[in-house]
Chain A
Amino acid sequence: MGAVYSLTLRQLTGRWRLVIMTVLAALPVVFTAVVVRDSTTPFIEEFETIVLGTMLVGTISPLIIVAIASVAFGNEVEDRTLANLTLAPIPRWQIVLPKLAASVTVALPFILMSALVTSWLAFNHDVLATWAVTVGALAGLLMYASVFVWLGLVTRHAMAAGLLYIVLWEGFFSGYVSGIRFLSIRYYSIALMHGLDPRRFVAQPNVGLGAAVVVAVAVCALFAFLSTRRLRRMDVP
């Protein structure tokens, strides 16, 4: 698995991609820094909705991950180099997991720093709140990465499909249609934050910490399985 992992790391760490990721990851930090300096500091609910929910977990984080995870397989399909991997005498899951791990590895520093610094600034160096936000964001990273790695195998337009998903599903429908919220990664990431620091955050209705953890694990496992199955069944270009 090491060969696939190190190959994917090399593929995903192009200079321009890293520059764009850095800029995206810095946005919530800059926004928060401006907000906390302002005398008209918003209520925690407003901050949570706008910066943590919508900006960090709902937009910036998935944008960073879609740009990385969707090309983990997508580039190989596009360049027609995937056969180098699928013709190796190894089980398909030993191709999927290193791809997923490499995507998480590349996205991790950006998401981690963005969530860590944003919450550290916003909650006035409160360790528990910072921990809750960071863990919630990292759980989101794992779930989004699983989905977007799979997406890279099912469509040649994974990036566009991922962006549509982020904007329409995570951004629009899950915000306004209550039923869809339960099928939203953002919702469970925030539920984790709430569960980890009940002092700061009001508990999410209907979803406790345990349920959020179970859903996060289930989403990762489901999409890793779907990627493996897709790799076994697809025509490799």
Chain B
Amino acid sequence: MGPVPEADLVSTNGSAAPAVGTPAAGVVPSALSANAAASAVIRVEHVSRWFGSVVAVSDVTFDIGPGITGLLGPNGAGKTTLLRMMTGLAEVSDGTVTMFGEPVRDNPPLYRRVGVMSEHEAVYPFLKGRDFVRMMARLRGVENPEAATEKAIGLVDLAEAAELPMGTYSRGMRQRMRLAGTLVHDPEVLILDEPLNGADPRQRVHFQALLKRLAAEGRTIVLSSHILEEVERIAQTVLLIVNGKLAASGGFRAIRAALDKRPYHVRVMADRPRELAAAVVRLDSVDAVNVDPDGALIVLSRKVRELQVELPRLAKEASISLRRVEPLDDSLESVFGYLVEG
């Protein structure tokens, strides 16, 4: 295994035009960056978008090449606005977005090469699933719409529901049929906004396998999510968006490693908190321990995985009952908060 690529962590504390990663260093592991910059499929350069006085996206620059790229960020971070500008659905206030070297905005011929699935789960409730996918095929100029429709429905494993009106579908089924409509013209680029919303665990596994297969065929796939683990399973590279700015970018493992260096706060409820605190503070994985007025231990740890193993063992040895152990800041928002402050 090669060296873990270094993550490009970007401060977003700066002014309206913060220094962000260079296009080449933005998404692709550094060892590949020179080639990837040359073969960038999507290029986002100094893109900003504001609505009145509200800045939704601020001076974001990156390149995306073939493979799966995860666009990660908390709700309201600007992911959807950024994706909408990348697909040409929304105008940029400043900067440029190109795909295959062409502008994406108002460029219908380019859309033959792109499949987009928006975050909105709206469907045409009166259309049968098969009719919807066939319509998408016809709209996108597919030569043999019937064959393409059956193939796309097969890809999402929804043939049994294809003759039902989409208004009767569950949320997960709607998403899968929408994905079939997105894939029906065999696009080279896939842009998917929160595609796993509403999917059950089996569907998630199926979806992840499908995306990996499509990426292995050389496609460029961008998907957004606010769930770290979801992106971790699929994406080779990650863009972290916080407050409309590019907070970090690079290989997932490098970013994960950077996240692991941050101290975590863990709240522990036990029947003898002060005795547990005295024992816990001696652990190598623990940086500090506080006891709250309500008797809860607040443990600060930079090695939270070790703590997960050691804490139950310690409690068992001291015959202390653990009633509850919960991370206080394991949300993506706090992760990004750490990155931003760092």
Contact = CB atoms under 8 A, between A and B. Distances in A.
A87 B113 CA distance: 10
Interface residues of B, number: 28
A83 B115 CA distance: 11
B50 interface: no
Contacts of B123: 81
A181 B147 CA distance: 56
A89 B102 CA distance: 14
Interface string B84-100: 10011111000000000
Nearest to B85: A235
Interface residues on A, range: 20 to 34
Interface string B122-164: 1110110000000110111100000000000000000000000
A2 B138 contact: yes
Given A87-B87, A87-B116, A235-B89, A3 B138 contact: yes
Contacts of A38: none
14 contacts: A2-B138, A10-B124, A11-B126, A81-B120, A81-B124, A83-B89, A83-B118, A85-B139, A87-B111, A87-B114, A88-B140, A88-B141, A233-B106, A236-B84
B140 A89 contact: yes
Contacts of B87: 83, 87
Contacts of A89: 108-112, 140-141
Q: Per DSSP, are chain A's interface residues mostly helix, strand or loop, or mixed?
A: helix
A164 interface: no
A210 interface: no
A88 B139 contact: yes
B90 A236 contact: yes
B273 interface: no
Given A11-B124, A83-B89, A92 B108 contact: yes
B181 interface: yes
Interface string A78-107: 011101111111111000000000000000
Interface of B: 84, 87-91, 106, 108-112, 114, 116, 118, 120, 122-124, 126-127, 135-136, 138-141, 181
Q: Nearest 7 CB-CB pairs, A to B? A: A88-B139, A89-B112, A80-B120, A3-B138, A89-B111, A235-B90, A79-B122
Instruction: Tell which of A10, A11, A84, A88 has the most Cβ of chain B within 10 Å.
Output: A84
Contacts of A235: 84, 89-91
A237 B90 CA distance: 8
Contacts of A127: none
Contacts of A83: 87, 89, 116, 118
Given A80-B120, A236-B89, A10 B127 contact: yes
Nearest to B145: A3
Nearest to A81: B122
Contacts of B109: 89
Given A2-B138, A232-B106, A235-B84, A87 B124 contact: no
A15 to B, nearest CB: 11
Interface in A67-85: 79-81, 83-85
A31 B111 CA distance: 53
A89 B88 CA distance: 12
Interface string A1-39: 011100100110000000000000000000000000000
Contact of B122 (A2, A11, A80, A232): A80
